[in-house]
Each structure stands twice: as structure tokens, then as C-alpha cells.
Structure 1
Amino acid sequence: VPDTLKDMRLYGALLNAYVGAKIRDKAETLMEQMRNKGYCITPLPYNVMMTLYMKLDELDEVEELVSEMKQKKISLDSYSYNIWLSARGSQGSPESMEQVFREMDLDPRIIPNWTTFSTMASMYAKLGQLEKAEQCLRNLETRITNRDRMPYHYLLSLYGSLGNRGEVYRVWNIYKSVFPNIPNWGYHSVISSLVRSGDIEGAEKLYEEWLPVKSSFDPKIGNL
């Protein structure tokens, strides 16, 4: 492995560590060093820094990094677009979020994934645009591939947030048909969703269903 590539990996690992610990000053200093060494030639370090700024609610900094990537002709990847979508949605502007999605949709290298639609659904729900949120969830469902459990948990949680218990049950039944063995966190998702949508009786029934099949006792489920 060339020394340059080793250095890029080491710097990248250190940047991840600083961002994970939310040490902003050290992360920004290291990012500047990476720029000076010519290591910022892929979306990865930008995505890591955008993640930090999202954690710190520094949404303008996300926009600055996207602008820098475009100026330097560094193509955004799916992760870049998804963070940018989240930043725009967090600003309270569905129109500006939709502008990013249109740009993403027109990018021939990018296919919006289920995370894209879960991000948009969550933002629409927070902004009270429930019909658009549900349309995003329908799009999310068409993007589920292979044997990935995570999208089902997001669907359950988001439909619960929208108060749509019918869809919670529909997704739950599909989830159980695809995965015969449901882990504790699957039950946690559906039970908390039913509680949020006001179906306490249904939540209690699923709690009773979970008790004999649980992999281990999870007090978080009992406390819902």
C-alpha cells in the first residue's frame, strides 16, 4: 500500500474519532491539514464533517461543505445527499429540501435509497405535511432490498409517529413474513409505534407475544 494511501487512511480514521467524540476544533484542524495535503478528493471526509455539523446543529456549515465539494468538482454520493436533505429539512423548509431531492434525482450516478425517503418522511412529519410523509414511506418500501431489517424498523417507527396504526400492523405482518425470527429491537419498534399511535391494547398484546419468544429480557420494552 503506498504511503500516501496509508496516510489518507490514518487521517480519515483520526477524523472519524474526533467526530465521534464531537471534538469540533480538532476535527476542523485535521480537516484543514487534509485539504493542504490533497487528501480531500473524495466525498468521505466531507461526509464525516457534515455528520459532525448535523450533531452540533450547525446547518450552515453543512451548506458550506456542499458548496466546497461542488467548487472542487467532488461528486456528492448518496450519503452526502442524504445529510444535505436532512440539513435542509431541519431548517424548516420543505421547498429547499425538495430542491436537493430534485438535484439528487437528476444525478445519473445516484439512485435514491430507502434512507433518502426515511429522512424526507421524518422531516415532512415534523413539518406537519403528513400526506407527503406517507408518500415517502411508500417510496421507502419499494427500496427495501435483500434481507435488510432496518428499513422495517424505520417504517414502523415513522407510521407510528404519523398515528397510522393500520400501516403499522401491515408493515409488521410483512416484516414477520420475511423474517420468521424477530429480534427484541423489532418488537421494541412495533410496540413503541402502537403506543405512540394510541393503540395501547394492541401494544399490550404484542408485549405478551414477545415474552415467550424473546432472545433475552429487555427492560426497555417493558417500560414502553
Structure 2
Amino acid sequence: MATRSLFHSLRCRLTNGVVGGNFTRNAESSRFSKSYSADAAIGSSLVEQSLESEEKDDLRSRIFRLRLPKRSVTTVLEKWVGEGNQITVNELRDISRELKKTRRYKHALEVTEWMVQHEESKISDTDYASRIDLISKVFGIDAAERYFEGLNQASKTTETYTSLLHAYAASKQTERAEALFRRIIESDSLTFGAITYNEMMTLYMSVGEVEKVHEVIEVLKRKKVSPDIFTYNLWLSSCAAAFNIDELTKILEEMRHDASFSEGWGRYIDLTSIYISSSRVANAESSSPVVEAEKSISQREWITYDFLMILHTGLGNKDMIDQIWKSLRNTNQKLSSRSYICVLSSYVMLGHLREAGEVIDQWKESKTTEFDASACSRILNAFRAVGLEDKASDFHLLLVQKKCILEMI
């Protein structure tokens, strides 16, 4: 069996069992580490808030002095009004937004509840959408669904539909999401943008059903919805998972002619096209890793680089994998489990076990992404399933040496 064919089969298996399942921010195995890193990041901010609260006696300070979820924001709001103070909707929105950022979801929800009860005439579609998101976090998907269905028809808007769809996607409720998405695309009275379609594609990537991403793209095109950079991100990744190089090239050409993309993205597209067609850059001036093309772009806007590793593995370009991996590690963005799995399988596929061992060590030492031994076992099983017994044996020995698995599995 040819290397490319084997790698194609391997990537499909890994996508369904490993890569796809870890694509998004809601991977179960990394929730604790996400919580830990986020808490650390906001720690100094909370200290400042605490000190500030001791000095001030405004509404925000009183609410943020509540330390335990059991304590009621509603009581604070009622007392504030009882003392003759005024509360504006914008002030409540800002407080709720800050509480949500620090994951104080129950208190944020109580603030929005007060808004609905006392300022209903001023409540916006975005406010209702925020409540759906908060309800799903505090009381679960069923409660969020009941709240949405209980809204009057005028409040069932693009924002609220998309918020519920996001809740389904985050909890991997595929059947519910698909049913809601059908309602969305059949709607004649509402107009939905790319973000709604992105939610559906994110769900399919997260559960390993990458072939359905193209179906969503077809609906998006039929509805004449303009894709955004995250749409292209998901679309490219789904094609890469299937090793569909022809489709990748077509997508890049479409991006090139999309008027909404900046000159910086043009440079990215040029570099990526060269990588795909010839596996090398044309001249020294363009030889920096593609990851560095736009360092200022946020995590949400990133085009994922797993497909570049896949392409270079199929071409046997170990040096390019080294460059991409080095650049990814040197950015200030958090590496996902998917990134570790992708580079690890690439190195093993090319027979570079020393580098694969280094990746395992880096992953185990990572403070942001918890090491997943079961993912390594699935990689091992995927090698065996496509007939790469030598690769599987080498990888098995490496995992034993790194104390990732037992001797016999």
C-alpha cells in the first residue's frame, strides 16, 4: 500500500477517533486544565476588583463582593433600589458581561433576570441570546431549550436561534442541533449569517463527522451567505482530514478572490498554495513559517495548521513539519490536544521517533492542555488498522518508554 494511501486512511481514522473529537474548545478531557489556566489568567484581575470593591460602594462593587454562588445578586439589586439608587439597563449588561467573563454564570444570570423583570421593554435580542447561553451553563441544555421555546415569536430571532444552536454544539447534542438547523434554514422571515453555519460545522468537526461539513457549506452557498475566516478555517480542516488536496486548492482560490480578506491573508494564501503544490517556498524572503504570516490574528480567526502537517507528512517533508510545530509553540496561542496529536502522528508516520518522544514530553509538561493517554492508544490502533504494523510496534515501544501505557495492550 502506498504511503499516501495509508496516510489518508490513517488520517480518516484519527479524525473520527481523535482529531475530530478534540477539534473544539469543549473537549471533556481538557476541561480541568482550561479552568485552571483561565483562573490563573484572571487571578490578578480579581484581586484588583477585590481591592477596588473595598474602596467603592457602587452597584458593581457590591455584586462583585459576593464570593459564593449561593449568595443572591437579586437581594443586592433590591437593596440598591430600596436605598433610592437608579439602575440602567446598560449598567446591568456590563456587570453581567463581566461576571460571565469570570465564569460567575449564576450571578450573571440573576442580573439578566432582573433586567427582564424590571426593564422588559428595553431588552434586546442579544439580551435574550445571552440568557439562553447562561441558562444552558447554569441549568443545562433542557432548561435552555424550554426557555427558548417559551419566548414569544418576536423574540425568536437570529441571535436566540444561534445561541441555542451554540449550546447544542458545545454539548455535542447532534440530533437536537440538526433539528434546530433545519428550522433555521427553512425560515423565510429570518436572515442568518456565517456564525450560525459555523456552529454547525464546529459540531461536526468535534464529533468526527467531517464529511457533513461540506453539506453545511452547500447550504451556506445556496442561501448566499458570505463565509467568514472561521468558515474557511473549518472547511479547510475538514478537507485536510480527508486528504482532499484538490478541494483545498479550490478553497484557497476562493479566499483569494474574497473581497473581505486583507492583504495579510493574501500572503498567507500564497504561502499555503506554494506549500500544497511544491512543499517549499519560492524564495528566501517568503521562507518564514506560514504560522507567522499574521501573528496578530486571534485564535478564533486562525486557519488551523493541522492540514499543513498532514500534507507535508504525505510528501515526507519532515523539515517543514519541524518549522510549523516550532512556530505553533512560539506563538502566544494555546495549543490544543489536536495539535499535539497531529504532530505526534506525523513524526511517527515518518519514522522520527526521537522527535515524537519530545512531543510527548512537551505535551505531558504542558500547563494548558492535559496529556491524553487514551488518544495515544487510538493513534496506535489506527496504525495497526491500516496495516502499518512496523510503525505501530515502534510507537508502542515509545509509549512504553515514556510510561504512557502498560507493556501489554
TM-score normalised over the length of structure 1:
0.69
Q: Please say if 1:192 is aligned against 2:306.
A: yes
Structure 1 residue 172, shift from structure 2 partner = 2.3
Q: Please say if 1:219 is aligned against 2:309.
A: no
The amino acid that maps onto 2:100 is: V
In the alignment, which residue of structure 2 is the partner of 1:49? 131
In the alignment, which residue of structure 1 is the partner of 2:144? 62
The amino acid that maps onto 1:10 is: E
In 2: Cα distance, 1:50 partner to 1:203 partner? 48
**Partners of 1:46 and 1:65 within 8 A in 2:** no
Structure 1 residue 13, shift from structure 2 partner = 1.7
In the alignment, which residue of structure 1 is the partner of 2:56? none
Structure 1 residue 101, shift from structure 2 partner = 1.9
User: For 2:155, what is the secondary structure of its paired residue?
Assistant: coil
The amino acid that maps onto 1:192 is: D
Structure 1 residue 164, shift from structure 2 partner = 3.8
Assess, with a 3 A threshold, how the Cα gap between structure 1 residues 217 and 163 changes in structure 2: closer, same or farther. closer
Question: What pairs up with 1:78-157 in 2 under 5 angstroms?
Answer: 78-90=158-170, 92-140=172-220, 142-144=224-226, 148-157=228-237
Structure 1 residue 27, shift from structure 2 partner = 0.8
In 2: Cα distance, 1:32 partner to 1:46 partner? 10
In the alignment, which residue of structure 1 is the partner of 2:104? 23
In the alignment, which residue of structure 1 is the partner of 2:275? none
Assess, with a 3 A threshold, how the Cα gap between structure 1 residues 49 and 155 changes in structure 2: closer, same or farther. same
The amino acid that maps onto 1:167 is: E
Task: Indicate the structure whose relative CO is greater, using CA pairs within 8 Å and at least 6 residues apart.
Answer: 2
Q: CA RMSD in A?
A: 4.0
The amino acid that maps onto 1:219 is: N
**Partners of 2:210 and 2:241 within 8 A in 1:** no
Matched length: 209
Assess, with a 3 A threshold, how the Cα gap between structure 1 residues 32 and 51 changes in structure 2: closer, same or farther. closer
In 1: Cα distance, 2:316 partner to 2:197 partner? 26
In 1: Cα distance, 2:316 partner to 2:257 partner? 19
Assess, with a 3 A threshold, how the Cα gap between structure 1 residues 84 and 217 changes in structure 2: closer, same or farther. closer
Structure 1 residue 81, shift from structure 2 partner = 1.4
User: For 1:144, what is the secondary structure of its paired residue?
Assistant: coil
In the alignment, which residue of structure 1 is the partner of 2:79? none
Structure 1 residue 51, shift from structure 2 partner = 3.1
In 2: Cα distance, 1:58 partner to 1:132 partner? 26
- The gaps in structure 2 that reach 5 residues or longer are 1-86, 269-292, 334-338, 344-409
The amino acid that maps onto 2:124 is: T
In the alignment, which residue of structure 2 is the partner of 1:14? 95
**Partners of 1:92 and 1:127 within 8 A in 2:** yes
**Partners of 1:165 and 1:199 within 8 A in 2:** no
**Partners of 1:16 and 1:48 within 8 A in 2:** no
Q: Percent identity?
A: 16
Assess, with a 3 A threshold, how the Cα gap between structure 1 residues 93 and 54 changes in structure 2: closer, same or farther. closer
In 2: Cα distance, 1:28 partner to 1:22 partner? 11
The amino acid that maps onto 1:7 is: T
Superimposed CA distance per residue, residues 54-103 of structure 1 (whole angstroms, 9 cap, x where no aligned partner): 56793233213313424xx4422223212222333455554322321232
Superimposed CA distance per residue, residues 161-203 of structure 1 (whole angstroms, 9 cap, x where no aligned partner): 55544433321233234453445259962533333x4643679
Bigger Rg over Cα:
2
TM-score normalised over the length of structure 2:
0.42
**Partners of 2:230 and 2:303 within 8 A in 1:** no
Assess, with a 3 A threshold, how the Cα gap between structure 1 residues 57 and 32 changes in structure 2: closer, same or farther. closer
In the alignment, which residue of structure 2 is the partner of 1:38? 119
In the alignment, which residue of structure 2 is the partner of 1:3? none
The amino acid that maps onto 1:156 is: L
- The gaps in structure 1 that reach 5 residues or longer are 1-5
